[in-house]
Amino acid sequence: MELKKEIMNSKKSNLNLENRNKLILSGVVEVISFDDKTIILDTSLGTLTTKGENLKMQKLDVQNGDVIIVGHVNSCVYTTTESKKDKDSIIAKLFR
């Protein structure tokens, strides 16, 4: 649990996609779910959903937060848990 907090606080994450066949990630907090078409990871910058074909986790280093995924990658999408309310501009706050 302490490691998860430490990674979340550092907000450091790298994503490197090589020829759509090898995805190298750092800053991974935990693996939420995976199969050969979709891998969902919780990272220090939000939830990362990777979709493709024949996806496999070649390396999973939970202690350092490193993951290597091989297979044909079609998409990588980040979603955050921050609410829209936190991102309101000053002008939007004035006209409430």
CA distances from 52 to 8, 11, 69, 73, 95 (A): 27, 26, 11, 4, 44
75 has pLDDT over 70: yes
- Domain housing 46: 2-94
pLDDT digits (tens, 9 = 90+) for 7-59: 445 568 899 999 999 999 999 999 999 999 999 999 988 999 999 999 999 99
pLDDT bucket at 1, cuts 50 / 70 / 90: very low
Residue 90 confidence (pLDDT): 66
96 has pLDDT over 80: no
Q: What is the tally of structural domains in the chain? A: 1
% helix, strand, coil for the chain, step of 5: 20, 55, 25
Residue 13 confidence (pLDDT): 84
% pLDDT > 70, the chain: 72
* Residue 60 belongs to domain with CATH number: 2.60.40.2000
